[in-house]
Chains A and B, each alone.
Chain A
């Protein structure tokens, strides 16, 4: 407390953030550092909540959603699967398949008729912002077919953590696949999603593959599935593979057993859509702490640490290094754990990395600040505690 409200404590704290800003502005992007950059750019502390704290391991099966594995079905078979599923009066059917061009005209015609005849269908489309016409539809275009874009938000081949609920293009509004499905299945939940007015949402992954009812498309056509299984359900038709070596339509998610380093993709696209739909239906969104709170917290905690460091630096210098290193270590572990705890328990995403970096930089910046303050004192008679309470370096 002795040095808490001293001018030098404030200025040293300020210097820490100035240093961080300068480091961030330095556009160093050398190829030789790529391994480190690549390793770190896809890393998020909160992913550890899934693998280390077993976040959402106990989430029950979501019986509102049924997934049909289409396997390697051709268009004719897909049309037949659609016919069987829609006969069971599901709430919504989401077809997570892209049809980019024409194939066999007979099977195309059959599938197109099924698509048009299926009520409450949402068909996959994709958004391409690099193109003039941003919405890329399937070849089966009909105004009666509702579209939903299946793009996720994430780095190429990186972990999928976000999705965009809607995209606006001039006067057009394009809904994501999950948004379009929930709009039909639960308009109230959909409205809550819109009311949040977020351009991107963090996906709250709650369920692995085995937490959704999974029906094999081939077995369905052979009549090996009980009646009424799709009645009043959200049915997603997509490709599902349990083999770790089959990475078709499979992506890395925070639920991966390995939260860093090289690993196999762990979740099929249709399962990610299912997780997003579950999140929207439950309203269990990830609450991201606003940046201004994150920065305020970082400034306050750094200020407290600086005052502690100055106290030991000046008054008990012999203990300074030991106390400072221990304080840095304990703080780093505690704040990382705090972030994980909030994310795991309350779905609150608090980015403590700024605080941790500031505390780690604090000691080196303090050395620099002391030298600067003493120089200013000598030149301009700047009053500083480092001069009046100079520590004995020989102790």
Chain B
């Protein structure tokens, strides 16, 4: 057992040692020059830097870097900085490492061994038949869960079959339950704000099907109050990061809200970031991709 643990530890150390740190320019203000491999270029947000690069920060300038997708730090004093000096900033903060590790060991060592002979019910998941019920509707897995309070956002789907009309259903249960709302539409989407007067805060489940057919796949729509949504946005906005411009804050909020399934709000913030800083290709491209991915017209 000790040997196993030692081997795991050495393996993790080996992996860690094999990775070299990378830095990404998260935000900047003023004059920042990158020197890398003998070349000198003006820094831009989104620039990826190796640890061999160095930065020259002008007067009244600031740059914020992300190291290895983990830690964020800023440099705000005039001068030349070699990034190798900042590799300590890349060290991961494992938090409750010991607790996580013990939980891992516990999980690894507490699984019961069974076999088809001792518990056949656990092993009856192989279905020896072909299915002739392939669903004609595809709903993007990113729409599995949407948390919504207000604003425009479409519940969209795609159809494999050539169909003129589609049925849209809203249920109060994940598998069975009552149909709260249904509609027949020629569009392959329904905007949530058109239903909002029907929905109070809570969980709802929606589905779409080619007219006359059924689709058992249901997606989650959670309605929250605007107060609840605003409190979340305030919390995200007040997270103490390094320096951020208004566009950078909007872009970060868009990203964090998308991660948190607040898609209608994420859309607004991506749009805001792209409007505030139209020359930043990342903001513009992200906004356009978001619109395309979620069929926003």
A residues neighboring B (CB under 8 Å): 27-32, 70, 73-75, 78, 96-105, 124, 126-127, 129, 139, 150-156, 160-162, 164, 177, 199-200, 238-239, 248-249, 251, 269-270, 272-273
Contacts and interface: CB of A to CB of B under 8 A. Distances in A.
Contact of A100 (B7, B109, B131, B212): B131
Given A32-B7, A200-B117, A101 B213 contact: yes
Interface in B103-118: 108-113, 116-117
B132 interface: yes
A124 B214 CA distance: 20
Nearest to B1: A28
A127 B125 CA distance: 8
Contact of A269 (B7, B110, B129): B129
A85 B7 CA distance: 63
Contacts of B214: 101-102, 139
B212 A238 contact: no
B128 A164 contact: no
Contacts of A99: 131-133
B8 to A, nearest CB: 6
Contacts of A124: 129
A164 B4 contact: no
Given A32-B11, A73-B132, A249-B128, 4 more contacts: A29-B109, A32-B8, A151-B126, A161-B116
A27 B110 contact: yes
A87 to B, nearest CB: 22
Given A32-B7, A153-B116, A162-B120, A98 B109 contact: no
B297 interface: no
A153 B115 CA distance: 10
Contact of A104 (B1, B113, B212): B212
Interface in B207-222: 212-216
Nearest to A161: B116
B109 A70 contact: no
B13 to A, nearest CB: 14
Nearest to A288: B117
A104 to B, nearest CB: 7
B112 A74 contact: no
Nearest to A238: B130
A238 B129 contact: yes
Contacts of B111: 27, 29
B31 interface: no
B102 interface: no
Contacts, number: 125
Contact of B215 (A74, A101, A251): A101
Contacts of A31: 108
6 contacts: A97-B129, A103-B136, A127-B124, A129-B121, A150-B128, A151-B125
B181 interface: no
B126 A100 contact: no
Choose among B8, B124, B125, B213 the residue with the greatest number of A CB atoms under 10 Å from its CB.
Answer: B124
Given A129-B124, A151-B125, A200-B117, A78 B132 contact: yes
Contacts of B112: 27
A273 B128 contact: yes
Contacts of A177: 128-129
Choose among B111, B125, B216 the residue with the greatest number of A CB atoms under 10 Å from its CB.
Answer: B125
A202 B126 CA distance: 15
A200 B118 CA distance: 10
Choose among B129, B130, B135, B136 the residue with the greatest number of A CB atoms under 10 Å from its CB.
Answer: B129
Contacts of A70: 130
Interface string B53-77: 0000000000000000000000000
A103 B133 contact: yes
A154 B11 CA distance: 34
Contacts of A101: 133, 135, 213-216
Contacts of A161: 116
B127 interface: yes
A390 B213 CA distance: 84
A126 B131 CA distance: 11
Contacts of B7: 32
A97 B132 contact: yes
Contact of A97 (B113, B122, B124, B131): B131
B4 A30 contact: yes
B123 interface: yes
Given A32-B8, A153-B124, A96 B130 contact: yes
Contacts of A269: 127-130
B256 to A, nearest CB: 31
Contacts of B216: 100-101
B130 A248 contact: yes
A238 B122 CA distance: 26
Interface in B138-187: none
A159 to B, nearest CB: 10
A126 B110 CA distance: 31
A162 B215 CA distance: 33
Contacts of B4: 28, 30, 32
A156 B126 CA distance: 7
